[in-house]
Structure 1
Amino acid sequence: MKTILKLRELTKKFGSLTAVDALTFNIQKGNVYGILGPNGSGKSTTLGMVLNVVNPSSGSFEWFDGEMNTHEALKKVGAIIESPNFYPSMSAEDNLKLVCKIKGVEYSRIDVVLEIVNLHDRKKDHFSSYSLGMKQRLAIASALLNDPEILILDEPTNGLDPQGIHQIREIIKRIAAEGMTILLASHLLDEVEKVCSHVVVIRNGKKLYSGPVDELNATHGFFELKSEHKDELKSFLETHSAIERYDEADNDLIKAILAQPYEAKLINKECFEKGILLTHLVKRKETLEEQFLKLTKNQ
């Protein structure tokens, strides 16, 4: 599989502050990558370095297996790392014509990208009449004009209402389904879980995890249990070989973390045979949020 981007020990310091600390990971063609971390974790600084707008303090990055210099490589990249910035008194179409001139792209691409972001019927309207979500969609259209090999988005749904968020995510998924490589920075676990195939988790500039989203979330799940025989249930769970540990919730629910695959019907049968009648039993999978909190709790 073709490697679009390689980061090797990439580091950025601002005085005594290390914003990005020796980041190393690869972006492979055809995947959707999320750089996930809290605000201030170094996501935007990382994107700034690979887009040549922030100078690294040390380390390196390489586009397209080093086949071309960064200046040439960036002609094959589409990126939005700031708020959409177009002329408010001009139509969407005319704004995109200016971008075409700058990028050396044929005007025929305008209708294509406006269709992709569902703005074709509003192309004659002034940018000032657009909602925040529409402005963000136009920015994505602008980034797609040069038919890039990779699309880079920094917090693409920031500040949008639920409808705007849904529209942006659907566009990202549709573009990805057609084979485009996407790299997006987000502090939203839900966003990464819904649109990304791979994730790089960073905190305080350090990489905590890099790999498929499914592998970050590849636990055996847990049981939610409730019984009027609570003490007996707890004693049973403490010695059960399939249970890693259990936690008690405020509503008398017990959350039993699985150490291995195990079926709910088996735990129900075993409890019944020991005289423990369960009034609630549900098997669940740990969410990405739970895995993320577990990953970052000691950082």
Structure 2
Amino acid sequence: MESILTINNLTKKFGYLTAVKDLSFTIKKGNVYGILGPNGSGKSTTLGVVLNVVNKTSGDFHWFDGKISTHDALKKVGAIIERPNFYPYMSGYQNLKLVCKIKGVNYSKIEEKLKIVGLLERKDSKFKTFSLGMKQRLAIASALLNDPEILILDEPTNGLDPQGIHQIREIIKQIAAKGTTILLASHLLDEVEKVCTHVVVLRKGKKLYSGRVDEMISSNGFFELKCNNQEALVTLLERHNSFSKIKVENDLVTAFLTEPMRSDDFNKYLFEKGIILTHLIQRKESLEEQFLQLTDNQTNQI
């Protein structure tokens, strides 16, 4: 599969602050990638570097297998990395005409892109009358005018109400379904889980995980347990090879599995060891639980 963007050992420092540290990952054509991390994790800085608006400190990156220069490659990229900035007293259509002039794109593209983002009926309305969600959708239409091979979005649903968030996410899925590669930065686990096929997890500029979203959440899950003798239960679990981590909160014990295990087999095993469970629930880990485990492990290493 063709590589759209390859980042190798990228580092960016602002004085004494290291915003991105030795970051490497590859974006393949036709997927939806999420760069996930809390504020200050280096997401926007990474996007700024590959879009040539922030100078790297070390490392390198190349677009489209390095076959063309970054300048020419960026002509195939659509990006929104700041708040939408259009002329308030001009209509949505007029604003996009200006963008077409700048990008050298035919005006015939305007209505096609407005239809994709659900703004065709409001094309003659002034930009100042648009809601925040509509402004963001117009920005996406603007980024799509040159039919980019990759669309880059920095926190695309930030500040929107639930309806606006849903609309933007559906538009992203629709664009991806037509074959456009998408890279979005987000601090929202829910967003990445619902929209992205792949995820790069960052914390303080360092990569904690890179891979498919479904593989990240396809762990063996965990048991939530309560019993008549918590101390004996915890001791038994800690000595058992099938569990990687045991968490105790009040009377609830959470045991994370390293391999598949049926709840009835597990219950029988504990009963034979003299432990009577009063509560047993088997769950799969969500992306949030995986993310918290990753960041918790990283914290413990510092």
**TM-score category of the 2 structures, normalised to the smaller one:** over 0.9
TM superposition shift of 1:236:
5.0
1:46-72, Cα deviation, whole Å (9 max, x unpaired): 111111111112222111112211111
Distance 1:11 1:259, change over 3 A: closer
Residue matched to 1:177: 177
Per the alignment, in what secondary structure is the counterpart of residue 136 of structure 2?
A: helix
Residue matched to 1:90: 90
Q: Are residue 133 (structure 1) and residue 96 (structure 2) matched?
A: no
Q: Are residue 282 (structure 1) and residue 281 (structure 2) matched?
A: yes
State the TM-score, normalizing by the size of structure 2: 0.92
Query: One-letter code of the match for 1:21?
Result: K
Deviating more after overlay: 223-232 vs 99-108: 223-232
Deviating more after overlay: 158-167 vs 75-84: 158-167
State the TM-score, normalizing by the size of structure 1: 0.92
Residue matched to 1:269: 268
Residue matched to 2:254: 255
TM superposition shift of 1:248:
2.2
Per the alignment, in what secondary structure is the counterpart of residue 21 of structure 2?
A: strand
Residue matched to 2:148: 148
Query: One-letter code of the match for 1:254?
Result: V
Q: Distance in 1 between matches of 2:54 and 2:103?
A: 21
TM superposition shift of 1:276:
4.7
1:269-297, Cα deviation, whole Å (9 max, x unpaired): 34455665544322111222222222222
Distance 1:55 1:246, change over 3 A: closer
TM superposition shift of 1:87:
0.9
1:119-176, Cα deviation, whole Å (9 max, x unpaired): 1121121111111111111111110011100000011111111111111111111211
Residue matched to 2:123: 123
Q: Distance in 2 between matches of 1:270 and 1:91?
A: 69
Deviating more after overlay: 230-239 vs 282-291: 230-239
Describe how 1:211-222 pairs up with structure 2 within 5 A.
211-222=211-222
Residue matched to 1:206: 206
1:215-242, Cα deviation, whole Å (9 max, x unpaired): 3333210011223454554455455453
Distance 1:246 1:109, change over 3 A: same
Per the alignment, in what secondary structure is the counterpart of residue 175 of structure 1?
A: helix
User: Once superposed, what is the RMSD of the aligned Cα atoms?
Assistant: 1.9
Q: Distance in 2 between matches of 1:225 and 1:242?
A: 15
1:224-270, Cα deviation, whole Å (9 max, x unpaired): 122345455445545545334432223x2221211210111222334
Query: One-letter code of the match for 1:72?
Result: D
Unaligned runs of 5+ in 1: none
1:83-117, Cα deviation, whole Å (9 max, x unpaired): 00011111111111111111111112111111111
Percent of aligned positions that are identical: 68
